[in-house]
Amino acid sequence: MVEHYKSNPQGSASNSTSGPHQTLFFKAQSSHALLDNTLQEALKKAKGGFIEKRSKAIADVENFESYKQQAQLVKNHTLDHLAYYLTQFEDNLIKNGGQVHWASTPEQLNNIILHICERRDAKSVIKGKSMISEEANLNAALEAAGIDVTETDLGEYIIQLAKEPPSHIIVPAIHKTRQQVEALFRNAHDLGDRELDTIAALVDEARLQLRQKFLNADIGITGANMLIADTGSAMLVTNEGNGDLTATLPKAHIVTASIEKVVPDLESASAILRVLARSATGQPITSYTSLLSGPRGIEDLDGPEEFHVILLDNQRSQMLGTPFEEMLKCIKCGACLNHCPIYSAVGGHAYGWVYPGPMGSVLTPLMTGLKQSSDLPNASTFCGRCEEVCPMGIPLPELLRQLRNKEHEEHLTPRKTRISLQSFMWTIQHPKIFYWLTQITRKVLTNTTLSQFFAKYIFTSWYNSKELPKNNSKGTFMEQYKKSSKQKKT
């Protein structure tokens, strides 16, 4: 059986905004994050580990650039023939006994899953980590239908207890300290006095709590890192093994994946695997790489009775053939987040939707609408680190620039900002006026009363998030440069 939900060419950006935490704009959220001492402590501890592990994993390979090139060639080829490989995947999965469903929007994806749950009279669902289910805010939809939902990835389990969305696409609870996790477990698990002052103790307790959930679940839902077209298989990459239990123990298994996850064959998948774990967690390969190809066969000892794959579009087909098609090459490794100075300072929740960091600053406007996320393209220093570490070579800074240009064209940039930028452009094209204004600015900064007046009434928006520069008694840069040049000549 194949259920088709044809994609609406126009799409509906508003359909995609049902994410779990789209409440404040980036500026407000980042201000809160910077003042959160506990969050800052957690981010500080996490930052170095990702960068160091990635550097070591890449150094252990003779030519990582060749790995990147091979992976990029796979993605380029697949996107050029996306319809063909999606059709091939569908045909082969059906031959394996599985069922394919097509969802244009997150709402359609949720409805398909709810229909399967209703038909099977499912009361409990276990889930592996899935960014697509986060896009659809699936947990809320299932809970609203009276279905008990349990996240089985340790990080996802922690934030489910905290009633928070993930703040990182690889490590969902990166914003939590060990002490916070201990407090969550003591509040959620009625187990009396026990020692929980080590990470090992926390992991053991989570494992014990989840064991019965695995055994009692009616349906298991996982994501997929790749979809193999010529075998009709979903590839799942994990480090905890919870994905395999979620996929094999319940009587029905549902895979949620986006359309660009398809690759031609296992050789192509291997090319991407060589860069995925190294870029994400600094491992040569993750602990578990599983191929899920359909329901349990006659001779199989375990596995589900039903196997479903739901393919979500959600604005992705609209990116094809545009400069933003580059984002469909993203393998969600999280390297751009780990190396981004903005993300490292404010964490993932500040970005307001499912995908944080540089990749989220591009994806969120494309999927939820630029008007609703106009802060994000500006949440970048343009240092270029994200593009440098991206294994797929996605030109993230250039895509952010294009979104900024689009903001300007659609008059989404605040009027004051547009006037300020236009004034600045005009000023720097007139050196004498620019030189005169820098001298005046310096004099203003030396006068406490004047500087406070300008900060409070003229440059209010700027001053709310930044400090005024300290006055340099040696003069402006140009004055110091002229003086230095004269000294050299003499």
Residue 121, domain member (yes or no): yes
Is 90 exceeded by the pLDDT of residue 247? Answer: yes
Is 90 exceeded by the pLDDT of residue 474? Answer: no
Residue 391: strand, helix, or coil? coil
pLDDT at 415: 66
Whether residues 427 and 303 fall in one domain: no
- pLDDT digits over 425-441, tens only? 888 899 889 888 888 87
- pLDDT digits over 306-327, tens only? 999 999 999 999 999 999 999 9
Whether residues 310 and 425 fall in one domain: no
Higher pLDDT, 75 or 419: 75
Q: Which of 8-22, 218-232, 439-453 has the lowest mean pLDDT?
A: 8-22
The dihedral sign for the CA sequence 174, 178, 179, 185: positive
Q: How far apart are CA 469 and CA 489, in angstroms?
A: 31
Whether residues 57 and 195 fall in one domain: yes
Residue 255, domain member (yes or no): yes
What is Dmax (Cα atoms) for the chain? 93
Whether residues 298 and 428 fall in one domain: no
Burial of 459 from C-beta contacts in 10 A (0-12 / 13-18 / 19+):
middle
Whether residues 60 and 205 fall in one domain: yes
Split at pLDDT 50, 70, 90, the class of 10 is very low
pLDDT at 7: 34
Is 70 exceeded by the pLDDT of residue 330? Answer: yes
Range of the domain at 467: 419-489
- Are 56 and 357 in contact, with CB atoms under 8 Å apart? no
Q: How much is the pTM?
A: 0.86
Average pLDDT over residues 378-404: 96
Average pLDDT over residues 437-465: 72
CA distances from 375 to 62, 355, 361, 383, 460 (A): 40, 14, 9, 18, 17
Domain boundary among 318, 337, 372: 318
Residue 413, domain member (yes or no): no
Domain boundary among 318, 341, 358: 318
The gap between the terminal CA atoms of the chain, to the nearest Å, is 88
- Looking up residue 52, the CATH number of its domain turns out to be 3.40.50.10420
One-letter-per-residue 3-state SS of 334-357 = CHHHHCCHHHHHHCCHHHCCCCCH
Task: Produce one character per residue of 34-70: b if its CB has 16 or more CB atoms within 10 Å, e if not.
Answer: eebeebbebbeebbeebbebbeebbeeeeebeebbeb
The residue count of the chain comes to 490
- pLDDT digits over 102-130, tens only? 999 999 999 999 999 999 999 999 999 99
**Number of separate domains in the chain:** 2
What is the bridge-based pairing of β-strands 99-103 and 124-127?
unpaired
